[in-house]
Structure 1
Amino acid sequence: MDQTQQLAQLHAYTYEKLSHDHTGHDMAHIERVVKMARTLNEKLGGNSFVVQAAALLHDVVDEKLFTDIDQAKASVIAQMQALEVSQSEQDHIMEIISKMSFSHSLAGKQELSLEGQIVQDADWLDAIGAIGIARAIYYGARHKEKLYDPAMPPRKELDKAAYRDLSNETIINHFYEKLFKIKDMLNTAEAKAIAKERHELMLSYVTAFKADW
């Protein structure tokens, strides 16, 4: 099976896992991340197959979406083995998707290969800007978060457990706790250039939101 066929099968696998998602981690998100990852990779020259495969698979091991992460990872590995993805590529893909989430970065910047940096940047770019604003509201509403409370300041110095605890977060505070930080946490100059305008849009949005409140 050639790599084009392998990627098509991995797309089908991810679709099976995420097609019913209602948190903003659906196939539309996946396909935007794959597209952005390809665009970045064209300039940066990473392993195209690893970049595309990791972009396709990055949310099927996300602990926000799946309760048994060990089982989720085992399922991904079994799928790649069935598709005869090489062992070195399997290892590389699993390392990327296991380390690239924002929550992992709370304990310190994770070391990622060039391919991992590209996929992480592509994923994080989809969390900011116009689509990022919509996804933040969509995700927060799905989890019954409060929209805004002026008496509730953004949380600081979050560890992973506190970050995952949505009981004392608001949707607007999420911009301060994560989204406004992304611009300076991206890996590549190419992604940072794209992030600049998206970051400014979010700042304008939150300023206007608070003025209207």
Structure 2
Amino acid sequence: MNPSETIIQNVTNIVSQRMADQQAGHGFDHVRRVHRTACDIQAQTGGDRFVIELAALLHDVGDAKFHEGVERSAEFSRQILGDLPVDTPTIDHVAHIVDNLSFRKHDTAEELSLEGKIVQDADRLDALGAIGIVRTIEYGATVGQPFHIAGHDPSDLNGPKTGAGHFYQKLFRLREMLHTDPARQIATERERFMKTFLTQFMSELAD
């Protein structure tokens, strides 16, 4: 294993341990998928692979949902990487990415580098498709949010919060917010699947 691979493995182990108790679609399984997707996109678009892998692994290590509403991923990233043989410019780059990645911050986020855009695309793709459906249902079950309310049109953006409504309020907006062509191609397929699922779901309710 070369030095970069050793660092990646160490970060993987540390993040896996730190996120062991995080669930609701935001656990280490999510991080693994984002890491894999980010690497796939990088292979087609370029960018610094080492920075991309680190940022993908660390992007949710301090997720606000598990730290009393305070986003701490950049802080924890600096702590973790500071204990490893990673140079300061790389640490700063990774911290900037994870601090400006989340959907909730998109109105105030600073411009991302190519590496940051790739990781952000990979993160957003994980909210789409079959995995996206399961994550929505898991999260709703955790916070007591129903997937659907009888008589409510989920496409009504002013209606009550539901899992199905979340598709229209956020998830179906993600494709237009992606940066890279490979990500947009994946998103198109996954969004189509989700719409087919919703059509079938609403059809069965009407039977």
Both proteins in one fold, TM over 0.5? yes
How many matched pairs?
201
For residues 119-178 of structure 1, the C-alpha deviation after alignment (integer angstroms, 9 at most, x for no partner) is 01111111100111111111111111022123476446xxxxxxxxxxx51111110111
Alignment partner of 1:126 is 2:126: yes
Residue in 2 that maps onto 1:21 = 22
Aligned equivalents of 1:101 and 1:60: distance in 2?
Answer: 12
8 Å Cα contact 2:63/2:71 also seen in 1: no
The structural deviation recorded for 1:9 is 1.2
The structural deviation recorded for 1:58 is 0.5
Q: RMSD of the TM alignment (CA)?
A: 2.0
Seen in structure 2, the aligned counterparts of structure 1 residues 71 and 46 have a Cα distance that, compared at 3 Å, is: closer
Residue in 1 that maps onto 2:202 = 210
Residue in 2 that maps onto 1:76 = 77
Moved more, 194-203 or 147-156: 147-156
The structural deviation recorded for 1:67 is 2.1
Seen in structure 2, the aligned counterparts of structure 1 residues 116 and 152 have a Cα distance that, compared at 3 Å, is: same
Seen in structure 2, the aligned counterparts of structure 1 residues 74 and 17 have a Cα distance that, compared at 3 Å, is: same
Residue in 1 that maps onto 2:8 = 7
Moved more, 74-83 or 59-68: 59-68
**Which blocks of at least 5 consecutive residues in structure 2 are unaligned?**
none
8 Å Cα contact 2:55/2:119 also seen in 1: yes
What's the secondary structure of 1:64's corresponding residue?
Answer: helix
Alignment partner of 1:148 is 2:140: no
Aligned equivalents of 1:178 and 1:199: distance in 2?
Answer: 12
TM-score (norm 1): 0.87
Letter in 2 for 1:116: G
Residue in 1 that maps onto 2:90 = 89
TM-score (norm 2): 0.89
What's the secondary structure of 2:16's corresponding residue?
Answer: helix
Aligned equivalents of 2:110 and 2:167: distance in 1?
Answer: 22
Aligned equivalents of 1:80 and 1:109: distance in 2?
Answer: 22
The structural deviation recorded for 1:110 is 5.0
Aligned equivalents of 2:62 and 2:89: distance in 1?
Answer: 19
Residue in 2 that maps onto 1:198 = 190
The structural deviation recorded for 1:114 is 0.3
Aligned equivalents of 2:73 and 2:46: distance in 1?
Answer: 29
Letter in 2 for 1:131: I
Letter in 2 for 1:173: G
**Which blocks of at least 5 consecutive residues in structure 1 are unaligned?**
157-167
